[in-house]
Every structure is written in C-alpha cells, then in structure tokens.
Amino acid sequence: MSVKLEPPHYSTSGDACFDGASFAEEEDAPVFSIGALRPKKIAPNFETWLKDSCARARKKYSRTEWEKILRGPEPFSQREIEIVEARRLYHWELVGYTKKGELRFLVINNSATTLPYLTVGLRHVRDEFIGSVWLDVSHIGPGQTAEVTQEAYEMAPPRDQEPFEKPDPGPEDRDSYWEFEGA
C-alpha cells in the first residue's frame, strides 16, 4: 500500500502520527505523539510503536482478564445461531418520518421466529458519525409485516441520517446486536 502525504502534513489516528515527509521518504518512518506544542518522536518505526503500545495495554488487565481476552468470545450457542439465521430473513425499508422526526420503517419478518429487536446501522449522510438503532420487532410474528418507528440520533436532523444493513454478527458482536437480548 502506498500513501503520499505532503509535508508538513501529519496523518493522525488517536495520539500517534506519522510525519508526512518522513513517511513518504522512509520505509520505516518514525512515529510521533502530538503534544501541546509540536509532535514528539515516540518510536523509530510503526512496528516498535505497536509492540510498545500493546505491552502498555496488556498491563492494564489482570491475569484473569487477559486470559479471557486471549481465549476470545464463546462460540454462538444453537439459539444464537438461530437468531443470526432469523435475522437474515428480516427485511426493512425506511418509508418516511413521523411529525416528531422519528424514523419510520416497514419491517417484514420472513423467518419462522420472532426476534425482540432488529439492529439496523445508522450513519450521517456526510460521514460525521456512524452507529446503530434497535428496532422493536417483538410484535412482528413469522410472515407478518408492520411499521416500526425509532428515534434518530439527536445530533443531526433525521433526514441527514441514513439506515444501512449491518453485517451478520459474530460471537464478538453480541453486545452490539440487541437481537441477542435474553438469548
């Protein structure tokens, strides 16, 4: 991958950055931290910075917590697998807005089960934020269609927010998908 940054541009993510000039000229560009006045060199290259950052992060966890992180999430239970499969058979469409500015969705349940919620992505049309909303679909039985309203984010007008299909969740995503509530 090649990235061209014009000096004196600094490309930043969090508290670490690359100097645009050295990043463009050197294979192993130094990493800087943005301080109060100017960037300070904190590592000779990205690999060193990443290893050091991971070592610092590791120290924040107890042995038990770290072992849990290394094990990763528990695999999906049979019920959770069924939820993922049912989720694929729910279809939705944004059909408008209420007078209060809520999003109006038409939801179709083509599955053989009823989910409590359906997680739908929601992003700003100019990429100012990205998140999710949880549609209460607990009243939509198999083969049924119903309209569901959901509040939009308060930080932008509802018409500046667009829903999108979220990918299938994995075991590590349990906390981000409300379909798994009570599973």
As a whole number, the mean pLDDT across the chain is 86
| Whole-number pLDDT of residue 152 | 92
- pLDDT surpasses 60 at 10: no
Q: Tens digits of per-residue pLDDT, 64-107?
A: 998 988 899 999 999 999 999 999 999 999 999 999 999 999 99
Instruction: Give the pLDDT score at 35.
Output: 67
35: DSSP letter: -
CB 142 within 8 A of CB 109: yes
Q: How high is the pLDDT of residue 53?
A: 86
Q: Quick: pLDDT tens for 158-177.
A: 999 999 999 999 999 999 99
φ/ψ (deg, to 5) at 25: -95, -30
The answer for residues whose C-beta is within 8 angstroms of residue 1's C-beta and 6 or more apart is none
Residue 90 amino acid letter: Y
Q: Which of 131, 114, 113 is nearest to 122 (CA)?
A: 131
Tokens, residue 72: 């990763």
* 85 half-sphere exposure, CB direction, 13 A CA radius: 10
Comparing 1 with 14, which gets the higher pLDDT? 14
Backbone φ and ψ of 78, nearest 5°: -60, -40
At position 144, the amino acid (one-letter code) is Q
Q: In terms of pLDDT, which residue wins out, 25 or 112?
A: 112
Q: How much is the average pLDDT of 143-161? A: 95
Question: Within 13 A of 94's CA, how many CA atoms are on the CB side?
Answer: 21
- For the chain, the 3-state helix, strand and coil shares in percent, each to the nearest 5, are 30, 30, 40
Q: What is the pLDDT of residue 58?
A: 87
Band (pLDDT 50/70/90 cuts) for residue 22 is: low
Task: Note the pLDDT of residue 109.
Answer: 99
Q: What is the mean pLDDT of residues 131-144?
A: 97
* Beta strand extents in 2-137 (DSSP E only): 10-13, 16-19, 31-34, 39-43, 90-97, 103-109, 117-124, 130-136
Q: Is residue 13 scored above 60 in pLDDT?
A: no
| SS3 assignment, position 156 | coil
